């Protein structure tokens, strides 16, 4: 028995489940199936693996906001906490359908028409639909293979002006290229609080960038950014344009700041990782290395310099 097998055998099933869940939940974007395959082989315990996977995959799928295609390819659904109707059911407001999802397989197995109580009122849908249309145009311009959706998370039964409600915009873009040893993802969540009394829309954004490079190494990036903004409440189409412009501004600004940071990495961060001066507190004279001789220094210290 190898040391690794012996270590695993000393763990309780509960400990194995918690450790397995940790590895699955911390898998980089697009890599959980690879991690699951390796863990399954190491565990050699199907009950432990299935228990851990059943708990970890739904959390992972929702945090990464994966997008799954309908079985008949008539549309797709995002898996998030904002459109979750039941444990394995997720609303797609764009097609007014509810998708039944197998979390571990990461597939949409079936769909059904959404019930009236699962959909927003016609008044709220005007705002949701207009914003969804503008966001789709924006994502198609900026994020290759990006996906997006707009949900009503508060006040979906509001029938007319006079009450508050809240929409949330989800934008995801991923580039998975395991054959080139790299995967990356962009996720942004934009909460839009429509406050009738103030006649304003308060905007809160959470932006997440992840990347994993693993060719002859293992380097990961996990960056987060939050921002706030606001605009006035307008008719649905005008409001959608204003809110999309706010998103465009903040996401562009953040992407530019990331690009600037990485351009300066060689001259800033990487240099800070190295000792600026040797322990002698003296800069090494790279321009005149011939003045140093390791052999001569050793002979001097041993008293052998004049023994030849």
Same domain for 72 and 52? no
Q: What is the CATH number of the domain that holds 205?
A: 3.90.1150.210
Spell 214-250 as b/e; 16+ CB within 10 A means b: eeeeeeeeeeebebebebebeebeebbebbbebbeeb
pLDDT recorded at residue 293: 56
Is 201 domain-assigned? yes
pLDDT recorded at residue 178: 82
pLDDT recorded at residue 271: 60
Is 281 domain-assigned? no
pLDDT recorded at residue 217: 77
* Alpha carbon distance 39, 23 (integer Å): 8
Is 278 domain-assigned? no
Per-residue model confidence as pLDDT tens for the chain (308 residues):
455 555 566 889 999 999 999 999 999 988 999 999 999 999 999 999 999 999 999 999 999 999 999 999 988 999 999 999 998 999 999 999 999 999 999 999 999 999 999 999 999 999 999 999 999 999 999 998 899 999 999 999 999 999 999 999 999 998 888 888 888 899 999 999 999 999 999 999 999 999 888 887 788 888 999 999 999 999 999 999 999 999 999 999 999 998 887 776 666 655 665 555 566 666 656 556 555 555 555 556 555 555 55
Same domain for 124 and 252? yes
Same domain for 76 and 158? no
Same domain for 151 and 224? yes
Is 275 domain-assigned? no
Is 30 domain-assigned? yes
Same domain for 73 and 182? no
Question: How long is the chain?
Answer: 308
Tell which of 243, 261, 279 closes a domain.
261
Structural domain boundaries, residue 134: 120-261
* Alpha carbon distance 149, 136 (integer Å): 8
Is 306 domain-assigned? no
Same domain for 229 and 152? yes
pLDDT recorded at residue 244: 98
Same domain for 137 and 12? no
Is 301 domain-assigned? no
Structural domain count, the chain: 3
Same domain for 71 and 91? yes
Tell which of 22, 40, 64 closes a domain.
64
- Closest-CA residue to 252 (of 133, 150, 138): 138
Q: What is the CATH number of the domain that holds 109?
A: 3.30.1140.60
Same domain for 110 and 143? no
Tell which of 98, 116, 134 closes a domain.
116
pLDDT recorded at residue 221: 83
Is 299 domain-assigned? no
Same domain for 97 and 155? no
Say which residues have a Cβ less than 8 Å from residue 134's Cβ, sequence separation at least 6: 240, 241, 243, 244
Same domain for 256 and 139? yes
Same domain for 8 and 92? no
């Amino acid at each position: 028995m190898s040391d690794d097998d012996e270590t695993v055998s000393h763990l309780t099933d509960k400990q194995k489940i918690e450790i397995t869940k940790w590895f699955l939940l911390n898998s980089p974007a697009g890599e959980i199936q690879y991690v699951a395959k390796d863990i399954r082989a190491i565990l050699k315990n199907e009950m432990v693996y299935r228990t851990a996977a059943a708990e970890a995959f739904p959390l992972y799928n929702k945090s990464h906001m994966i997008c799954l295609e309908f079985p008949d390819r008539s549309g797709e659904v995002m898996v998030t906490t904002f459109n979750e109707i039941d444990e394995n059911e997720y609303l797609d407001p764009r097609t007014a359908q509810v998708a039944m999802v197998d979390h571990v397989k990461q597939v949409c197995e079936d769909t059904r028409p959404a019930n009236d109580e699962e959909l927003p009122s016609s008044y709220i849908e005007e705002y949701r639909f207009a914003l969804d249309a503008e966001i789709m145009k924006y994502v198609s311009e900026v994020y290759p293979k990006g996906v997006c959706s707009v949900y009503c998370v508060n006040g979906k039964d509001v029938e007319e002006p006079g009450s508050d409600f809240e929409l949330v915009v989800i934008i995801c873009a991923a580039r998975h290229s395991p054959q080139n040893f790299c995967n990356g993802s962009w996720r942004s969540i934009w909460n839009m609080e429509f406050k009738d009394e103030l006649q304003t829309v308060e905007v809160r954004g959470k932006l997440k960038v992840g990347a994993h490079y693993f060719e002859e190494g293992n380097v990961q990036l996990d960056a987060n950014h939050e921002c706030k903004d606001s605009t006035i409440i307008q008719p649905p189409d005008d409001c959608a344009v204003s809110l999309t412009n706010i998103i465009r501004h903040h996401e562009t600004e953040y992407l530019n700041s990331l690009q600037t940071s990485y351009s300066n990495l060689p001259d800033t961060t990487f240099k800070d990782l190295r000792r600026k001066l040797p322990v002698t507190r003296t800069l090494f004279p790279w321009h005149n290395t011939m003045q140093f001789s390791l052999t001569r220094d050793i002979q001097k210290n041993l008293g052998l310099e004049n023994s030849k």
